[in-house]
Amino acid sequence: MGRKPSVRPGGRSARVQAAVHAAVRELEAEVGRPALTVPLVAARAGVTPSTIYRRWGDLQELLSDVAVERLRPEAPPEDHGRLSADLQNWAQQFLEEMASPPGRAYIRDALLGDPDGDNAGQCSAYAAEQIRIILARAAERGESFPDVETVIDRVVAPMMYRILFRPGNLTAAYAHTLVCETLDESVASR
């Protein structure tokens, strides 16, 4: 991913990225992932294969970039009026999305085409930002709350480990237990 130039909003680079990302998504749906090639994506996007190689390096780095974009949350987490409800709902939705077959594929792609670890860091930043929003709301309401890293370590990390290595029994109850334990420990330590 080190090859990717900065993107100016509305500039040619942004248009190329949007066209190539759209081509990848369309072709995955039409021909399946195993059939994807750089020339096929380039033809669909209306760019030359050299444009893709210059910007992304290879197909795996391109797929990684597309995956990171697909893992970006579309909206802030819902506000349910209290920390426990906000975090429970967010964790359950996060688990459902990441544990789904497309979610797992995006996670694998994000990691496989990322020699420098930038994509993993970006995905972590997405989760951290969502958690920050939830915790800021709790602070505004005067609730006691853990810090972002505690939620990452005790809620997100165990879910991601299980998604990647032990995908069975990933239920809403599992997410609920992680959140309850984290909030109980947070309250007990204050």
| pLDDT digits 0-9 by tens, 59-108 | 999 999 998 888 889 899 999 999 999 999 999 999 999 999 889 988 88
Helices (H) and strands (E) in the chain, counts: 10, 0
Please list the helix, strand and coil fractions of the chain in percent, rounded to the nearest 5, in that order: 75, 0, 25
Region of residue 16 (left: phi > 0; alpha: psi -120 to 50; beta: else): alpha
Q: How confident is the model at residue 6 (pLDDT cuts 50, 70, 90)?
A: very low
- pLDDT on residue 12: 79
**Of the ranges 17-21, 42-46, 101-105, 112-116, which one carries the lowest mean pLDDT score?**
112-116
Unique residue bearing structure tokens 């995956």: 67
Residues 78 and 92: their CA atoms lie apart, in Å, by: 12
Distances from the Cα of 129 to the Cα of 125, 133, 135, 154, 170, angstroms: 6, 6, 10, 16, 23
| pLDDT digits 0-9 by tens, 133-142 | 999 999 999 9
- pLDDT on residue 1: 40
Residues 162 and 99: their CA atoms lie apart, in Å, by: 9
| pLDDT digits 0-9 by tens, 120-133 | 888 899 999 999 99
